[in-house]
């Protein structure tokens, strides 16, 4: 069974947690934490957090869909749910220090998981 954990940490607390997890022998915990926080791997960070946002909105596990999955037919997202992704995607944009904004009108036109990633990367 897997569990979702949501936390809001300062940069200092994030570094402290990172050092604690590195000392832990659990490889899966380390990999999950690295995917969540490693902004140096920009593509991996964007992909992982896009999947998390879509998982949260759709209710599907991030391992049950891929970049070719259709937002409507595979994940069951409605027009309004796609618009609601705006804030989550904007948070990803801010986290990787991109400068442009994401708008609801852009999110409502998204069709696949891959198109979500492309939209976020276009805000560089």
- pLDDT tens, position by position, 75-92: 999 999 999 999 999 999
Higher pLDDT among residues 46 and 4, named by residue: 46
Q: Are residues 77 and 20 in the same domain?
A: no
- Whether 1 shows a pLDDT value over 60: the answer reads no
- Rounded to whole angstroms, the Cα distance separating 117 from 28 reads 25
What's the structural domain count of the chain?
2
Q: What percent of the chain has pLDDT over 70?
A: 90
Which token pair is 30? 């380390």
Residue 115 sits in which domain range?
41-121
Question: Tokens 């609801």 label which residue?
Answer: 104
Return the higher-pLDDT residue of 19 and 97.
Answer: 97
One domain for residues 34 and 49 = no
User: pLDDT band for position 100 (50/70/90)?
Assistant: very high
């Amino acid at each position: 069974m897997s569990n979702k954990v949501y936390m809001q940490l300062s940069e200092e607390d994030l570094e402290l947690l990172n050092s604690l997890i590195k000392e832990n022998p659990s490889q899966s915990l380390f990999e999950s934490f690295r995917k969540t926080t490693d902004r140096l791997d920009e593509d991996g960070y964007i992909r992982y957090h896009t999947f998390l946002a879509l998982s949260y909105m759709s209710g599907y596990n991030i391992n049950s869909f891929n970049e070719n999955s259709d937002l409507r037919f595979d994940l069951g997202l409605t027009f309004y749910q796609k618009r609601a992704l705006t804030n989550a995607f904007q948070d990803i944009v801010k986290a990787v220090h991109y400068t442009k904004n994401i708008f609801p009108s852009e999110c409502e036109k998204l069709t696949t998981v891959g198109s979500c990633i492309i939209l976020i990367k276009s805000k560089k």
